[in-house]
Amino acid sequence: MKRYKSIILLALLLISTLHLFAQTQTTKSSSLSVTGEVKTSLTLTTKDLEKMVKMELKATDRDEKEHSYSGVELATILRLAGVTLGAELRGKNAAKFLLISANDGYRVVFSLAEADPEFSQKKILLATRKDGSLLPESEGPFKIIIEGEKKKARFIRQINSIQVKYVQ
């Protein structure tokens, strides 16, 4: 009987440890940092984005199947971080760019003007949902969707950071 209790106790301890590890990994991979040439560095979660004004874009995937993506306009996130946009995006500030990185090391670049609605009519969405559901793990929790983009190379998935930088 004593051995049976020890095995149960050990099993409960193992389950608790695995649960704690899983929570740590989920928290680590489901946040997005916004750093660099910003007034306020941010760390955002899907819950944070759920509280913000939503935008929806339709886009096709690699198989040419159309999906409806929902999330927050990238410019909204940049404004929240105090990034130079609008009338201030001129002179040396016009040489700023966004370096967006994914969990697997993939990275893409946008000029800051591309993400600014005062410069471009093309919308850039930081998506958290696809066809009404949270993005699948293979794509999310954050994915960039670009309105009217012909090639999907910059539809970066599993984003973990956005850095605002100057061209050197």
pLDDT at 77 over 90: yes
Q: How confident is the model over 123-141, as a mean pLDDT?
A: 96
**Verdict on whether the full-model pTM lies above 0.85:** no
In angstroms, what is the C-alpha Rg of the chain? 20
Confidence at residue 21, expressed as pLDDT on a 0 to 100 scale: 45
Residue 158 has pLDDT above 60, yes or no: yes
Residue 47: CB partners within 8 Å, gap ≥ 6?
A: none
Here the tokens at position 93 are 């500030």
Q: How many whole angstroms separate alpha carbon 89 and alpha carbon 112?
A: 8
pLDDT bin (cut points 50, 70, 90) of residue 23 is very low
Find out if CATH 3.90.420.10 is the number for domain 31-166: yes
The SS3 assignment for 121 reads: coil
